[in-house]
Amino acid sequence: SHAGMALSVLVILLLSMLYEAVKMGKAVLLRRALLALPRSLSRESLVEPEEGGTGTAQGRWFRYHVGQTLLHVGQVVLGYMVMLAVMSYNAWIFLGAIVGSTLGYFV
């Protein structure tokens, strides 16, 4: 039906936007992880807590890395879901994926 197709296109559009948001979230976490590393990579700077810090640099970096890993899994799952929808060879679904990706990147 027309309503079912419109709903399908909307869902694919939103999944594509979410894919772009997750991709951006990974980039933000990467930046934070790199900023969490100390300037000097000596053993003492990785083990000893910094002044005013809540934990070791290695511990903060590890938490960011776990977050990046979880976002990566989400990105892969979303990417495959969108790909499988596009592989239905429906032009409207394809356009929904393209528009969603464009809007997601723009936002």
Q: What is the DSSP letter of 90?
A: -
Domain boundaries of the chain, sorted by first residue: 1-45+57-106
**How far, in Å, CA of 54 to CA of 80, rounded?**
38
The residues, ordered by sequence, that sit 6+ positions from 44 with a Cβ below 8 Å of its Cβ are none
Dist. CA 34–CA 13, nearest whole Å: 32
Distance of CA 9 to the CA centre of its chain: 22
> What does the pLDDT profile of the chain (107 residues) look like in tens digits?
999 999 999 999 999 999 999 999 999 988 888 887 777 665 555 555 555 555 676 778 788 889 899 999 999 999 999 999 999 999 999 999 999 999 999 99
Cα 76 to the center of its chain, rounded Å: 9
Rounded to two decimals, the pTM is 0.75
